[in-house]
Amino acid sequence: MKYHFYKKEKKEVVPVKQEQQNILARRKLNEILKNRVQLRIPSRFIDNWDDVALFHSAGDLDKANAILFPSEESAFAINNGLNDLTAKEWLPETITVFSQKGLGAGNKDAQIEKQHPAPFSFQDVGRLIQFFTKENDKVLDPFSGVASTVKACAYNKRIGYGIELNLKYHNLGLQRIKLEVPDNFPFKEKQYLINGNSQKEIKKFKSNEFDFIVTSPPYWNILETVDHKGKERVENNLDYKYSDNNEDLANIEDYKQFLNTLAKFFNDCSKPLKVGKYMCVIVSDFRKKEKYYTFHADLANEIEKKGNFALKGIKILYQRHKSIYPYGYPFSFVPNMHHQNVLIFQNIKKKDD
Q: What is the pLDDT of residues 229-253, one digit of tens each?
A: 556 655 665 665 666 778 888 889 9
* Model pLDDT, residue 285: 94
Residues in Cβ contact with 239 at an 8 Å cutoff, skipping those fewer than 6 apart: 115, 116, 117, 233
pLDDT for residue 330 is more than 90: yes
- Euclidean distance between CA atoms 177 and 159, whole angstroms: 13
Q: What's the pTM value of the predicted model, to 2 decimals? A: 0.92
Looking at 52, 80, 108, which one is the last position of a domain? 80
Mean pLDDT of the chain: 91
Nearest of 128, 153, 127 to residue 139 by alpha carbon? 153
Within a domain: 19: yes
Looking at 47, 80, 113, which one is the last position of a domain? 80
Looking at 17, 47, 80, which one is the last position of a domain? 80
Q: What CATH number is attached to the domain comprising 314?
A: 3.40.50.150
Within a domain: 85: no
Shared domain for 112 and 254, answered yes or no, is yes
Within a domain: 139: yes
CB 126, CB 155: distance < 8 Å: yes
Shared domain for 112 and 235, answered yes or no, is yes
- Nearest-5° Cα angle at 60, 56 to 65: 45
103: exposed, middle or buried (Cβ count in 10 Å: 0-12, 13-18, 19+): middle
Shared domain for 310 and 165, answered yes or no, is yes
Residues in Cβ contact with 330 at an 8 Å cutoff, skipping those fewer than 6 apart: none
Within a domain: 151: yes
User: DSSP states of 136-159 as a string?
Assistant: T-EEEESS-TTTHHHHHHHHTT-E
pLDDT for residue 226 is more than 70: no
Least confident of 141-155, 178-192, 285-299: 285-299
Sign of the CA dihedral running 250, 253, 259, 260? negative
* Model pLDDT, residue 101: 86
Read off the pLDDT of each residue in 105-127 and give the average, rounded to a whole number: 81
Domain span at 68: 5-80
| Confidence at 72, pLDDT banded by 50, 70, 90 | confident
Shared domain for 189 and 247, answered yes or no, is yes
Within a domain: 90: no
Shared domain for 65 and 100, answered yes or no, is no
Shared domain for 31 and 114, answered yes or no, is no
Within a domain: 88: no
- Euclidean distance between CA atoms 263 and 304, whole angstroms: 8
Shared domain for 115 and 62, answered yes or no, is no
Shared domain for 190 and 225, answered yes or no, is yes
* Model pLDDT, residue 136: 97
Q: How far apart are the first and last CA of the chain?
A: 55
- Euclidean distance between CA atoms 45 and 267, whole angstroms: 37
Number of domains composing the chain: 2
Within a domain: 316: yes
- What is the 3-class SS of 292-314, one letter each residue? EECHHHHHHHHHHHHCCEEEEEE
Sign of the CA dihedral running 196, 201, 205, 210? positive
Q: Residue 193 in 3-state DSSP?
A: strand
Shared domain for 216 and 340, answered yes or no, is yes
Within a domain: 89: no
- Euclidean distance between CA atoms 105 and 340, whole angstroms: 19
Q: How many CB atoms lie within 10 A of CB 334?
A: 15
Shared domain for 65 and 116, answered yes or no, is no
pLDDT for residue 294 is more than 90: yes
Shared domain for 174 and 279, answered yes or no, is yes
Shared domain for 42 and 176, answered yes or no, is no
